[in-house]
Structure 1
Amino acid sequence: MIISILGSFGTTEIVVIVFLALLLFGGKKIPELMKGLGIGLKEFKKAIEQESEETNK
């Protein structure tokens, strides 16, 4: 899903987004934000899997 979203952006748009993120959050905050995003996505996927298991019972 994430890849399909990124596929709609060109190289220039991705570079601009990364540059703006660095400007807004600074280089030290970016890894923390990505870690939080990864944890959130992992929990979201786990919740979806649990819900689908419950509905399949």
Structure 2
Amino acid sequence: MLDSILLFLNMGGPEMMVVLFAILLLFGGKKLPELARGLGKGMREFKDASEGVKREINRNINAVNDDLSVDLDSKPSEAQKNETEQSHINS
């Protein structure tokens, strides 16, 4: 995944080193762990939220499918009604 991001940005090793050095100069060595920790927490919260949305969507889809299968099982179709009527008439 990191490779695809780097390819998308068309950045190689030397460019990444310059960016990291500039970040180190801007924020300092003491702030970098705090920034990384905050970024990690934010990414984790985003991932958890997206998983929750996926679970909710799947749960709703399954509920709709269950409702449809119950409705289809409880209501005979017109063809089944006609077959039942024909079998009663023929007997």
TM-score by length of 2: 0.57
Name the larger-Rg structure. 2
Q: Which structure's residues are more often helix, by fraction?
A: 2
Structure 1 distance, partners of 2:6, 2:33, is: 19
Amino acid at match of 2:51: E
Matched residue, 1:6: 6
Paired residues, number = 56
3-state DSSP class of the match of 1:27?
helix
Query: Where in structure 2 are the equivalents of 1:1-57 lying within 5 Å?
Result: 1=1, 3=2, 4-7=4-7, 8-57=10-59
Structure 1 spans left out of the alignment, 5+ residues = none
TM-score by length of 1: 0.88
Identity %: 54
Structure 2 spans left out of the alignment, 5+ residues = 60-91
Q: CA RMSD in A?
A: 1.2
